[in-house]
Amino acid sequence: MAMTEETDLEGSVAMAKESDGKVSPTKVWFASASVDVNAAKPILPIGRHEEDERSMTRDELAAVVKVSREAMRKIQSGEALSDEEISRTYSLCRGSTASNQPEPFMLLFGSWVVTAETRALLEDLDPGPLRFHEIEVLNAARTAPLWEGAALSVMQVLTCRRDVVIEESERLRKRVGRLKDGEARFSVTAPDRDDVLVVLPPHEDASEVWLDDRLDGALFLSDRVAKALSAAKLTRGWNLRRCVKKTVH
């Protein structure tokens, strides 16, 4: 069961599956949109559009790409970024279209962007260390905001836990490189159903929003956070998928 804006989680009888076939009332959710490389990318930081890059020298472009890659690495590993390392102004690509309103959660050029309502809810829940950086998203002509009145922020998740059980999870067989500490890095395809990823059960006092750096920073939520998003009708854009919890004896 994929969670949609209308999902009634409080009344749901769909328990989280455990790897021994039992069920548990405590669910873990994977925000598959957090790593959806197949998603449309009509909004980019200013400086990374084709027309911006064409005007740069080779050295200038190389420097921009280097900064972007380091920022991406930090985002996907839970390392804090300074304000100077965050792309603060985005714009719609020329010839592209966008929805009338921003989604509560969006993946923009590798960064997780949330609306003011989503940010306020998460800050109120206090699910673990998060950091928010306000950004601006402009229209394609860069003359006005793309979404009038919308307050948007890049969200950083500062908790990294390698909770995904790689060998028992579907679609994680393809290694795409290694991290700095030698751990294998895997590509993850956004699943079209629940129970694709197997995760270790979180500790009682663990952060409720976390990422796994082996999966390009795949983002996970506790059931409490997912239910709060659903109750506030803020699940649109997250593409939440239930995980299987591994039984630990």
Q: pLDDT higher for 206 or 249?
A: 206
**Ramachandran angles phi, psi of 154, nearest 5°:** -75, 130
Predicted local confidence at residue 204, as pLDDT: 82
Question: Cβ neighbours of residue 103 under 8 Å, at least 6 residues apart?
Answer: 115, 236, 237
pTM, to two decimals: 0.86
Exposure string of 79-102, with b = 16+ CB inside 10 Å and e = fewer, is eebeeeebbeebbbbeeeebeeeb
Q: Please give the Cα distance from 111 to 132 (Å, whole number).
A: 11
Q: What is the DSSP string of 88-114?
A: -EEEEPTT----SS--SEEEETTEEEE
Q: Please give the Cα distance from 17 to 70 (Å, whole number).
A: 37
Q: Please give the Cα distance from 151 to 133 (Å, whole number).
A: 11
DSSP 83: G
Predicted local confidence at residue 193, as pLDDT: 85
Q: Which tens digits make up the pLDDT trace of 40-65?
A: 679 999 999 999 999 999 999 999 99
Q: Which tens digits make up the pLDDT trace of 83-93?
A: 888 899 999 99
For the segment 221-247, the average pLDDT, to the nearest whole number, is: 94
Which residue ranges make up each domain of the chain? 16-245
